[in-house]
Amino acid sequence: MRSSDERHETEAGGELVHALLDEALAAAPEAADAPAVSDSGGTWTYRQTDVYAHAFAHWLRARGVAPGDRVVVQLPSRRELVGMFYGTSRCGAVFVPLNPAMKEFHLASVLADADPVLVIAPDPRSAG
């Protein structure tokens, strides 16, 4: 069995998207501290994005997420979303981003179609 840090391949022989980040860091280690993703809260370097992705992948695996599973993420656009995207790929799972403003009847339909093993969304109790 391969470690989670090795490059994963799909059944069709293609690479998973987290390999892009791995390859960028391997090809230009001096660029690891260059800005990679920004939001209103700040900027992450490629290295910080990779560290977050690894931590998120570990968090997903600890919750039983396995290759091929779908993970729905319904959060505002923030840099953490990029780390979640790469971390989900690192698990071999499918990242299913949803618009936080999606109406409940649309959400129910999408969730039924996606059949996710995990849904990550804001806690409604923390709203205003």
Give the whole-angstrom CA distance, residue 105 versus residue 109.
7
Tens-digit pLDDT string for the chain (128 aa): 333 444 444 444 566 777 777 777 777 778 888 898 999 999 999 899 999 999 999 999 999 999 999 999 999 999 999 999 999 999 999 999 999 999 988 999 999 999 999 999 987 655 54
- pTM equals 0.80
Relative to beta strand 94-97, strand 42-45 is unpaired
Domains of the chain, start order? 18-123 (3.40.50.980)
